[in-house]
Amino acid sequence: MGLVVLLPLAFFSEVFFIDGPEWMRGVGALFPLLHFQNALAQAWDPAGAELAWGHLGVLAGWGVLAGAVAVRYFRWEVRRDARS
């Protein structure tokens, strides 16, 4: 199930190729994989490694959003709602 999400996301985030259509890069920029890839590329640049604060900020935002969703919806035990 994870590959069903990962492969299209990697395709739109230009993991498999570079210089795709601009609309595709725009779609990929909405998700964290493109920013993760760019942050790693800047950190591992042999010409001079640097931190990509913008990309790291987007990744931190996605982490906060995912954490908020997890806190809201994840439970160890089944909820006993009045509806059931």
What is the per-residue pLDDT across 55-65, written as a single tens digit (0 to 9) for each? 999 999 999 99
- Phi then psi for residue 39, to 5 deg, are -65, -40
Tell me what pLDDT residue 57 has. 95
Across residues 6-34, what is the average pLDDT?
Answer: 86
0.75 surpassed by pTM:
no
Written as one string, the DSSP assignment of 17-76 is -SS--HHHHHHHTTSHHHHHHHHHHHHT-TT-----HHHHHHHHHHHHHHHHHHHHH--S
* Chain segment 27-62, per-residue pLDDT in tens: 888 999 989 988 998 888 888 888 889 999 999 999
